Each structure stands twice: as structure tokens, then as C-alpha cells.
């Protein structure tokens, strides 16, 4: 029979109950699989006797392994899972800890793992769905790197030309593929430069909207960087601006900084400085592990008191956090550094304060030795990860008819990663 079915010359020559034999066989197999859902097939399912995990062994590769409690927690049946909202319906009050597997099997016809539970509940799981949720190390790593966050590529001064990425402003606005590449560069290299933006104070706002939503701060929707009389912020002077991150005094610190150059200074200065704070932290960890530990653990008071403009509301921002913040996996999450926004109130012990200054000095020395310098031109938009990059500028002098003028805006990483995933996986369902 198998030979007949694979021979196209006779495939539709036989009929059963008016159906071509192939279709009849399929409905027959489906009927059998409904009657005998736990029959054996070339893919095998079993409960591992020692670990208790459910294992699915396909014809090739290592077995896929799942905890019983996870399978029950993620039962896809209509009673347990609301597919329209991709939401778990069951187990709201307590976890499904005490319900064990009674029987497992693999339905070859439907390509599904079938589970009968001790309380007689039945679950089925598509093999493709299971593969995507494999607990194996390689599969977990792949998901985290491809879907969660692209891994950062740390760089030092000598790598700058190799990691520098440029895009055309209009391409980012008009082409989804370029938008994706730009956001990926921000995630991986930590910065990128857009060329050819018009002489329009709304460019930074347009880019924020292209990603999703602008982040409003105490400095407004957008902020203008130019020398101002009665400046309320050190950035609004013509003095050199030391390497720093913006807004360390925010718990929800701005994710990226979009800096559009409308007018660049014709004086010698006004150049951008930039260094990869994660790279600096990694070098500190290698060269001075004890100092790294101090900067990772001692909280610093970051503050900002004032008001922006004459008519805006006064603010008093304050956030305590170390210079180097790690994530749940021990990776670099955020670097805080801003000499002008570091509070003279240092709410740690005398001993911690002294060891912190020693460690901080080493961090700054590496940051400065690894910093690059370049000067944006009118029409350039310099965009960088504000959780990672330290940026600054050299001193400059305005002249009549040449007043350096930048417009900036912020966007949060939650919004950026979300946009990036919708561009990479437009058909994602769960
Ligand atoms: Zn269920």
C-alpha cells in the first residue's frame, strides 16, 4: 500500500467511499489516532523514571525535555488557555504543582505530544510548539539572542571604525529593513549615525515616532542643546562636557538619546566624544576585579534639582544606583556616570566612600583612554544607547551667525526592542 501511495501514476486511481484513496487513508488514520491516541510512533514520548521529566525523542537529535509541572501549567486546551489573547486561564490562585502525568504518548498523525494527567485532564502539544520551548541550553540561548536581545558587541577605541554604522535619514523613515538594521546597530554596537536629515527642529521627534513613542522627561518632549544665558544645565554651557550618561538620576533612565545637529560650531571644538561604558566595565573587571566589585555594589546618589525654562515646573530628581549595574544573568545592564549630576550627599559608610573613589578613578581613566572623538555636521543625527555609552563634547565658541544648535529626544528600550521584534518577526503569534 505504501508503494502505491508514493507512485503518482496510480495515486488517484483508487477510491474508498467516493474519496481518492489518499484522502480516505488520511481520514482513516485520523480516526485511528483519535481512538488510539497513545499508540507508538517513530517519535517517542516517555516519562524519565529518574528525573520525572517528560521526554520527546524524535528520530534525530537529543530528546526534548520538559518538567511535568511546566507542561500542565502550559496546557493549550481551551479550558486552560485563551488563544485569542495568548493568555493562561488556569492556575491563577495556586501553581499546578501537585498534578502528575498518568500517561504520555506521541501522536504521529497529528505530530503532537499527548498527555493524560492523574486527574484525567488531557493535553496535547504540537511538536513545533514544543521544539520552540526546548529547555536545552542551545535552544534557550538561541531564543535569548534572536528574540529577546541581540548580544552587545563591546568595543574599544581601536575598533571604532569597524563598528561605526551610518544610515540615511530618509531610508530609516521609509524602509522597514533599514529601520530594523538601525535599531539592531543601536542594540549591538550601541550607536549609529544618520546622515542627510533636513534642517527641521522636528527630526528627533519624527525618529522617536518612527520607533514608537517619545520619552517625556523633566526637560520636555525634546530638548535643545545650545549655549543659553542663565543655563539651568551644565550641557547648556560652551565648556567641555565630560564623558557621561544622561539622567542617571532616573530609575527609568532614558534608553537612547537622539541628537540631531542643526548647526555645528565652526570653532575648533564642539566635537563629540564617545566611549563604550560596557567595554570600560569589562576592562575594569579584567584589570582590577576588586574595583569592579566596588563600582558594581556601592550605590551613588544621582540628582537633578532645578527647572527647565522659566515656565516649567520645578523638579527634584534623585536615584541611588551603582556606576555598573548588572542584569539577572550577570551581564551589563546599565552604566551610570555623570560628574555634574553626582550628589555631594553620599549615603554610604566612610570606608565604602574611600574605596569607591579609588575604583571610580580607575574606571574614568579607562573610559578616557578608550574614548573616540568625531564631529557631527549639520544634518547628522547621532543616536546612542544611553544605558551603555558615555558621551561628551569638547569646548567650543559660538560666533555671531554661527551658534551651535542640537535638538535631542529620548526613546525607551522597551519601545525599541518591541519595534525591533515586530520587524524581525512580523508573524509572531506566541
Ligand atoms: Zn487543559
Q: What is residue 74's predicted lDDT score, i.e. its pLDDT? A: 95
Which of 89, 111, 135 terminates a domain? The answer is 135
Question: Exposed e or buried b for every residue in 21-41, given b needs 16+ CB within 10 A?
Answer: beeeeeeeeeeebeeebeeee
Q: What is residue 21's predicted lDDT score, i.e. its pLDDT? A: 53
Largest CA distance in the chain: 93
In a domain, 222, yes or no: yes
Q: In whole angstroms, give the CA distance from residue 326 to residue 130.
A: 31
For helices 350-369 and 277-287, angle between their N-to-C axes, nearest 10 degrees: 120
Question: Is the CB of residue 235 less than 8 Å from the CB of residue 247?
Answer: no
Question: Who's near 206: CB < 8 A, 6+ residues apart?
Answer: 173
Q: Looking at the structure, tell me whether residues 41 and 170 fall in a common domain.
A: no
Q: Looking at the structure, tell me whether residues 301 and 183 fall in a common domain.
A: yes
* Ligand 1 mean position, distance from CA 85 (Å): 16
* Ligand 1 mean position, distance from CA 111 (Å): 18
* Ligand 1 mean position, distance from CA 81 (Å): 7
For helices 176-188 and 413-424, angle between their N-to-C axes, nearest 10 degrees: 130
**pLDDT tens digits for range 137-150:** 999 999 999 999 99
**pLDDT tens digits for range 389-400:** 999 999 888 888
* Ligand 1 mean position, distance from CA 20 (Å): 36
| Model confidence band, residue 40 (pLDDT cutoffs 50, 70, 90) | very low
Q: What is residue 27's predicted lDDT score, i.e. its pLDDT? A: 64
DSSP character for 392? E
Q: Looking at the structure, tell me whether residues 241 and 384 fall in a common domain.
A: yes
* Ligand 1 mean position, distance from CA 70 (Å): 12
In a domain, 3, yes or no: no
**In which residue are the cell numbers 579609588 written?**
358
Q: Looking at the structure, tell me whether residues 130 and 155 fall in a common domain.
A: no
**In which residue are the cell numbers 580607575 written?**
362
Answer yes or no: is pLDDT of 310 > 70.
no
Q: Mean pLDDT throughout 304-320?
A: 86
Question: Is the CB of residue 246 less than 8 Å from the CB of residue 412?
Answer: no
* Ligand 1 mean position, distance from CA 113 (Å): 13
* Ligand 1 mean position, distance from CA 88 (Å): 10
* Ligand 1 mean position, distance from CA 72 (Å): 7
Q: Which three cell numbers stand for residue 395?
A: 569646548
In a domain, 28, yes or no: no
> Per DSSP, which regions of 245-350 are E strands?
256-263, 272-276, 300-306, 315-321, 324-326, 332-335
* Ligand 1 mean position, distance from CA 103 (Å): 15
In a domain, 354, yes or no: yes
Q: What is residue 30's predicted lDDT score, i.e. its pLDDT? A: 61
Q: Which has the closest alpha carbon to 156: 194, 190, 195, 192?
A: 190
| Model confidence band, residue 35 (pLDDT cutoffs 50, 70, 90) | low
| Model confidence band, residue 11 (pLDDT cutoffs 50, 70, 90) | very low
Which tops the pLDDT comparison, 28 or 402?
Answer: 402
Question: Exposed e or buried b for every residue in 408-428, given b needs 16+ CB within 10 A?
Answer: bbbbbbebbbebbbeeeeeee
Q: In whole angstroms, give the CA distance from residue 391 to residue 244.
A: 5
Residue 416: CATH number of its domain? 3.60.130.10
Q: What is residue 318's predicted lDDT score, i.e. its pLDDT? A: 97
Q: Which three cell numbers stand for residue 244?
A: 557621561
CA–CA distances in Å: residue 231 to residues 225, 271, 317: 10, 20, 18
What is the count of structural domains for the chain?
2
Strands 191-195 and 166-168: parallel
Q: In whole angstroms, give the CA distance from residue 172 to residue 178.
A: 5
**pLDDT tens digits for range 85-139:** 999 988 777 878 889 999 999 999 999 999 999 999 999 999 999 999 999 999 9
Q: In whole angstroms, give the CA distance from residue 141 to residue 111.
A: 25
Q: What is residue 4's predicted lDDT score, i.e. its pLDDT? A: 36
Answer yes or no: is pLDDT of 377 > 60.
yes
* Ligand 1 mean position, distance from CA 75 (Å): 5
Where in the sequence is the domain holding 65, given as residue range(s)? 36-135
For helices 277-287 and 289-297, angle between their N-to-C axes, nearest 10 degrees: 130
In a domain, 5, yes or no: no
* Ligand 1 mean position, distance from CA 426 (Å): 28
Which of 135, 166, 191 terminates a domain? The answer is 135
* Ligand 1 mean position, distance from CA 37 (Å): 16
| Model confidence band, residue 14 (pLDDT cutoffs 50, 70, 90) | very low
**pLDDT tens digits for range 154-197:** 999 999 999 999 999 999 999 999 999 999 999 999 999 999 99
* Ligand 1 mean position, distance from CA 221 (Å): 47
Q: Looking at the structure, tell me whether residues 130 and 203 fall in a common domain.
A: no
Q: What is residue 3's predicted lDDT score, i.e. its pLDDT? A: 34
Q: Mean pLDDT throughout 10-23?
A: 49
Q: Looking at the structure, tell me whether residues 239 and 115 fall in a common domain.
A: no
Which of 135, 169, 191 terminates a domain? The answer is 135
**In which residue are the cell numbers 576592562 written?**
283
* Ligand 1 mean position, distance from CA 114 (Å): 11
Q: Looking at the structure, tell me whether residues 247 and 391 fall in a common domain.
A: yes
Q: Looking at the structure, tell me whether residues 114 and 240 fall in a common domain.
A: no
Q: Looking at the structure, tell me whether residues 162 and 111 fall in a common domain.
A: no
Taking the mean position of all CA atoms in its chain, how far away is CA 12? 52
* Ligand 1 mean position, distance from CA 396 (Å): 67
Helix runs in 215-372, H state only: 277-287, 289-297, 350-369
* Ligand 1 mean position, distance from CA 430 (Å): 17
Q: Looking at the structure, tell me whether residues 93 and 241 fall in a common domain.
A: no
In a domain, 72, yes or no: yes
* Ligand 1 mean position, distance from CA 119 (Å): 11
Contacts 24+ apart (CB under 8 A), 214-221: 214/409, 214/410, 214/411, 215/254, 215/255, 215/409, 215/410, 215/411, 215/412, 217/247, 217/250, 217/254, 217/410, 218/304, 218/308, 218/312, 218/315, 218/317, 219/308, 220/308, 220/312, 221/409
In a domain, 18, yes or no: no
* Ligand 1 mean position, distance from CA 54 (Å): 17
Q: Looking at the structure, tell me whether residues 411 and 351 fall in a common domain.
A: yes
Q: What is residue 429's predicted lDDT score, i.e. its pLDDT? A: 78
Residue 53: CATH number of its domain? 3.30.2020.30
* Ligand 1 mean position, distance from CA 116 (Å): 10
Q: What is residue 160's predicted lDDT score, i.e. its pLDDT? A: 98
Which tops the pLDDT comparison, 401 or 53?
Answer: 53
Q: Looking at the structure, tell me whether residues 130 and 152 fall in a common domain.
A: no
Q: In whole angstroms, give the CA distance from residue 231 to residue 93.
A: 55
Answer yes or no: is pLDDT of 312 > 90.
no
> Residue 182 belongs to what H/E stretch?
helix 176-188
In a domain, 100, yes or no: yes
State the average pLDDT for the chain.
90
* Ligand 1 mean position, distance from CA 125 (Å): 11
Amino acid at each position: 500500500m505504501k508503494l502505491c501511495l508514493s507512485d503518482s501514476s496510480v495515486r488517484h486511481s483508487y477510491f474508498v467511499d467516493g474519496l481518492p484513496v489518499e484522502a480516505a487513508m488520511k481520514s482513516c488514520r485520523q480516526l485511528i489516532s483519535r481512538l488510539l491516541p497513545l499508540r507508538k510512533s517513530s517519535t517517542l514520548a516517555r516519562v524519565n523514571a529518574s528525573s520525572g521529566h517528560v521526554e520527546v525523542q524524535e528520530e534525530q537529535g537529543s530528546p526534548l525535555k520538559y518538567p511535568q509541572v511546566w507542561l500542565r501549567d502550559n496546557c493549550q486546551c481551551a479550558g486552560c488557555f485563551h488563544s485569542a489573547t495568548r493568555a493562561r486561564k488556569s492556575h491563577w490562585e495556586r501553581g499546578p504543582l501537585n498534578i502528575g502525568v498518568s500517561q504520555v504518548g506521541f501522536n504521529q498523525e497529528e505530530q503532537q505530544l499527548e498527555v493524560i494527567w492523574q486527574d484525567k485532564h488531557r493535553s496535547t502539544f504540537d511538536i513545533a510548539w514544543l521544539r520552540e520551548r526546548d529547555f536545552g541550553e542551545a535552544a534557550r540561548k538561541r531564543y535569548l539572542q534572536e528574540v529577546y536581545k541581540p548580544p552587545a558587541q563591546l568595543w574599544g577605541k581601536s575598533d571604532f571604525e569597524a563598528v561605526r554604522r551610518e544610515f540615511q535619514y530618509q531610508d530609516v523613515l521609509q524602509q522597514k529593513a533599514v529601520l530594523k538594521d538601525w535599531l539592531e546597530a543601536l542594540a549591538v554596537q550601541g550607536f549609529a549615525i544618520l546622515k542627510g536629515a533636513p534642517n527641521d527642529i522636528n527630526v528627533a521627534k519624527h525618529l522617536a515616532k518612527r520607533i514608537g513613542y517619545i520619552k517625556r522627561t523633566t526637560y520636555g518632549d525634546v530638548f535643545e542643546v545650545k549655549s543659553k544665558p542663565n543655563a539651568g544645565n551644565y550641557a547648556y554651557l560652551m565648556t567641555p562636557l565630560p564623558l557621561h550618561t544622561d539622567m542617571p538620576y532616573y530609575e527609568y533612565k532614558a534608553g537612547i538619546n537622539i541628537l540631531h545637529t542643526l548647526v555645528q560650531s565652526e570653532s575648533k571644538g564642539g566635537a563629540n566624544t564617545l566611549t563604550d561604558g560596557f567595554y570600560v566595565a569589562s576592562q575594569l573587571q579584567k584589570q582590577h576585579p576588586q574595583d569592579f566589585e566596588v563600582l558594581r555594589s556601592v550605590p551613588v546618589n544621582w540628582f537633578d534639582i532645578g527647572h527647565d525654562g522659566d515656565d516649567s515646573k520645578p523638579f527634584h530628581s534623585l536615584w541611588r544606583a551603582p556606576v555598573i549595574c548588572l542584569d539577572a544573568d550577570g551581564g551589563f545592564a546599565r552604566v551610570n556616570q555623570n560628574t555634574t549630576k553626582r550628589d555631594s550627599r553620599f549615603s554610604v559608610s566612610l570606608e565604602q566612600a574611600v574605596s569607591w573613589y579609588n575604583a571610580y578613578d580607575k574606571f574614568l581613566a579607562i573610559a578616557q583612554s578608550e574614548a573616540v572623538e568625531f564631529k557631527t555636521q549639520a544634518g547628522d543625527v547621532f543616536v546612542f544607547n544611553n544605558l551603555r555609552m558615555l558621551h561628551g563634547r569638547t569646548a567650543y565658541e559660538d560666533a555671531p551667525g554661527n551658534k551651535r544648535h542640537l535638538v535631542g529626544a529620548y526613546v525607551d528600550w522597551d519601545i525599541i526592542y518591541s519595534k525591533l521584534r515586530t520587524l524581525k518577526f512580523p508573524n509572531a503569534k506566541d
